[in-house]
Structure 1
């Protein structure tokens, strides 16, 4: 029998959610064991948010040069050194990595163990021969790329988010299976870095966002030269010389798309394998089953982030971390509220959303109003040459903000205010009443809010009051 540890909290997984729980608990002087079998920082730092946004930044630089003529600046076609693009991406990871390192968390008082954790029973986890009997456990193992059951896929080399950022040469023709946020971000980035790109999607690209807004994004990607095939079925994947062939069903015939490389971006699967969940009496199927309070069927164990089958965002895992800290340290009742969770897709133009979309709001509420304002009528957007896009804000009859969706320049930044408004149950008058500095793109939000007042201007009782007051000068 090896060493036995008895911390207050044992966390499995040092991704965004697990690190947040560990840092907060340690700050309150609580004993914490943190276990990670892979890289500290998890998927977000090493294979997801950070490298993808760094790659997008490189691609955006190339695109700015390519289109600088419209601003009166003439430059030759940019030369992309993909080795240096790779180096830049990994320099960004390296700059952030110390914040998530073993050394930093050890200095906080967290006992970090590098290895694969497994429940041996409902109260004990084992890693590297050490057993941990904690008061509470938090499973935060995240998710990994899902590989769809496509015939022949396992017989050909393919990329996922876990290895695409290791490439030091640009692909000649990148075929992407999956038209979700990851697929579309990588499609545009690689196209701007010089590759031909074809996206194959079984349903509708960016299907979880407002279709009116996603149409603007899809149109822009097609203008960039990306081929997007929606509502198609893949019959099989096979080798084609030194490349890859994706064979599509086309009625009684077949259509073949040939490329040099294949990226699979067809969703994520929660990391539940090897955890010994049955021995811990934790119910799961594809993901760990949790209550609204994020508790599993084993009341000693919480599950947060992707592994709990939630919205697959880093900030969702951080939100969960804050909730379980309240429950574990302060015994406060908690309840997940997905309505307040925003998300953004970092294509150009960006796409962002929080709360209810227009169609959802119409199903749940009567008499909603949809407030709109186009980027083209914003002065800062005009100066930047970023006039493609709009904002849609959904409000109730009484002016309560139900949701907001934005497509356009800096949409991911602009959604923050609407996320705050919805989390605080604010009414649209609060947005129309604040002062925005001029000229900023954020004025779009205020202009949309002000349109809510147009209904009051047409109200006959309001008009009568104004007429009455005018009589008294």
Structure 2
């Protein structure tokens, strides 16, 4: 009842405010027309008018009514800079705090109870840094102040903190507006508009947000770098830690613009992608695919046969492929490009200094104006009882270990139904292993649409993979030379004997050992960065898997451009990372490639869409290649050809996706793809035919009806 009564009172004030046309007084015209009368009242009763003005200002801001900005100008015109600034400063802070308290009283409990889980991170941030966050909003008003008052009331920030942060934060802006008001008060004719003092006041009003932003950066820098001594000179413009995709591209860009850059890598240049991920896995996939094609050679009019091969030669080819790609990422190449490459392990000493434990045994320190952290990720190892006892491999370790095997593991268990697990499971099954894949979710490749998962599972099962979905791995056991994995589903345990086990349940960022904890750089599974890839320290950036949110080589390279450019030129211009169009592919057979929204994503997010689908069983080139399976599925804005997302399942899906990525990046719709000539017969025609399916679904039926009549008339 108390809340209801308060709402009635507030509503009555607001209705009365508009009913009696009081809002007309709080416009620029109202201010100018009433200025003379206000001046008379002020001269007769200065204290009364000042107090009444303060009270009215408090009411306007407390009720979030329009006109606070005009009242601020009026304060300057009526009371001058000194008294006007004093009155408005306290009135605005008191009114804002009242609005804050009303919002808290009426809504906070309800909002926190309903959205507590979603607001947990916000509450933690407010508790840790709420005053500074509020101060920045007050200093640079990106949002209207009345919204800040109401929304802050829903958080857990203390009322006292809210008041003083508002008082201090709004002071600079209040000064600018009140000062402008003093000039309005002195305006006696139109010619006065051109007076230097008035022009200066409005120039100050216009550039205030820029000045405030610079001031805020200075305050933030002093706050963040307190306790550290910045070097007077630097050894390097940029230090890059990590020689994977993110680090290599960052160093390359820095060298290309003639900055002095050092790249530090503790292990192998090229990172995970070259040595353990993209390159070796694709080499293995190709060998496995050829073996499978030999088994099904009748599809091409040839005699089928069981392939005979040396597994050691297959693995030797994998390492040969790595060695052929290796020069692209080598120390020699990057040294020639102008990058100082140091082999060693780097640790942050302070925001500008790195200590390197060199691989040759020495220790070295160097300073840089900016630092990029590109330390990558490693396989996540589940806390599975008995796992260490039975032994296991990961996508990082299997390449060296399996290279010594005379034959692929007879019985192989793959833990994980994501992209890495599916690629490895299918490849080793095609090379002769009896593979059991264990996934705790209801299906493999859960990030994709259900029909995609089903198609991939069907293909893998036909290749001999036993897929156990909705199964939890609970422990491993070893009895002599016999190794077992025990899995559970619906309370029923199943024992799986194996010769080798691969953990492929995901990857985690490499965060430890680089000095992040000592500097207080925040981590939450990845290094926490802002839109510019800056960490807590504006001169330290993160890129690639260690920064998230995507663990793809091409995204690491994409982020690296932003990290390097912002690190080198951020004082002049900074660029926000663009994540709007991110493609990815899983190289199972058939390949799965996607960009933008899937149907699953659209439904979860409540985004309206239309879907068109083209089956590759209709594509001439797919039929000629005996690979007529899969589809191209496109999601569009209802009634428009604007592309929301594309999923392709089939041969060369990763390559076919590029056309849609380009279209989405530059705002091209399906009509543009349909109007583009595609070579016949190619796989790329499938994209055009998918666009044609959309066109047919949106054919102008009424116009076609009249065209039919027209042609009938023309025939006589």
In the superposition, the TM-score normalised over structure 2's length comes to 0.63
- Give 1:371 shift: 1.1
Aligned to 2:91: none
Count of aligned pairs between the two proteins = 470
Aligned to 1:349: 590
Which segment drifts farther, 177-186 or 147-156? Answer: 147-156
Q: Summarize deviations over 1:243-297 as a string: whole Å, max 9, x none.
A: 4211012445421011110000010010011011022331113211011221111
2:438 and 2:603 map into 1 onto residues whose CA distance is 31
Which residue among 187, 211, 219 is the counterpart of 2:425? Answer: 187
CA RMSD of aligned residues (A): 1.9
Which residue among 138, 148, 152 is the counterpart of 2:382? Answer: 148
Distance 1:101 1:253, change over 3 A: same
Does the CA-based 8 Å contact 2:284-2:427 persist in structure 1? yes
1:208 and 1:71 map into 2 onto residues whose CA distance is 34
Does the CA-based 8 Å contact 2:370-2:568 persist in structure 1? no
Q: Which has the higher helix share?
A: 2
Please say if 1:71 is aligned against 2:297: no
Please say if 1:420 is aligned against 2:659: no
Aligned to 2:186: none
Q: Which has the higher strand share?
A: 1
Distance 1:253 1:393, change over 3 A: closer
Aligned to 1:178: 416
- Give 1:471 shift: 6.0
Does the CA-based 8 Å contact 2:237-2:568 persist in structure 1? no
1:137 and 1:354 map into 2 onto residues whose CA distance is 31
Aligned to 1:165: 399
Instruction: Give the alignment of 1:83-94 within 5 angstroms.
Output: 83-94=312-323
Q: Summarize deviations over 1:71-130 as a string: whole Å, max 9, x none.
A: 221153111211101110000000011111111111222111111110112221110322
Which segment drifts farther, 267-276 or 279-288? Answer: 279-288
Q: Summarize deviations over 1:143-200 as a string: whole Å, max 9, x none.
A: 0000011111122210001111121321011100001110000011101111110000
Q: Summarize deviations over 1:367-420 as a string: whole Å, max 9, x none.
A: 521110001000110011101101100011222111100111111110111111
1:248 and 1:106 map into 2 onto residues whose CA distance is 51
Does the CA-based 8 Å contact 2:616-2:631 persist in structure 1? yes
In the superposition, the TM-score normalised over structure 1's length comes to 0.95
Instruction: Give the alignment of 1:441-456 within 5 angstroms.
Output: 441-456=683-698
Does the CA-based 8 Å contact 2:345-2:356 persist in structure 1? yes
Please say if 1:323 is aligned against 2:565: no
Aligned to 1:127: 356
Please say if 1:312 is aligned against 2:551: yes
Does the CA-based 8 Å contact 1:236-1:248 persist in structure 2? yes
Q: Summarize deviations over 1:2-58 as a string: whole Å, max 9, x none.
A: xx9611010000001100111121111110010011111111110110000011111
Which residue among 48, 52, 56 is the counterpart of 2:281? Answer: 52
Aligned to 1:280: 519
- Give 1:366 shift: 5.8
Q: SS of the residue aligned with 1:310?
A: coil
1:217 and 1:329 map into 2 onto residues whose CA distance is 45
Aligned to 1:359: 600
Does the CA-based 8 Å contact 2:234-2:369 persist in structure 1? no
**Structure 1: runs of 5 or more not aligned:** none
Instruction: Give the alignment of 1:215-294 within 5 angstroms.
Output: 215-294=454-533
With a CA cutoff of 8 Å and minimum separation of 6, indicate the structure with the bigger relative contact order: 1
Does the CA-based 8 Å contact 2:371-2:567 persist in structure 1? no
Does the CA-based 8 Å contact 2:521-2:536 persist in structure 1? yes
Does the CA-based 8 Å contact 1:244-1:262 persist in structure 2? no
Which residue among 311, 330, 335 is the counterpart of 1:82? Answer: 311
Distance 1:470 1:130, change over 3 A: farther
**Structure 2: runs of 5 or more not aligned:** 1-232, 358-362
Distance 1:173 1:471, change over 3 A: same
Does the CA-based 8 Å contact 1:23-1:108 persist in structure 2? yes
Q: Summarize deviations over 1:216-263 as a string: whole Å, max 9, x none.
A: 111000011100001111120122442421101244542101111000
Does the CA-based 8 Å contact 1:339-1:354 persist in structure 2? no
2:435 and 2:563 map into 1 onto residues whose CA distance is 42
Please say if 1:459 is aligned against 2:701: yes
Please say if 1:378 is aligned against 2:619: yes
1:466 and 1:360 map into 2 onto residues whose CA distance is 41
Distance 1:303 1:457, change over 3 A: same
Which residue among 649, 652, 656 is the counterpart of 1:407? Answer: 649
Which residue among 112, 123, 138 is the counterpart of 2:372? Answer: 138
Q: Which has the larger radius of gyration?
A: 2
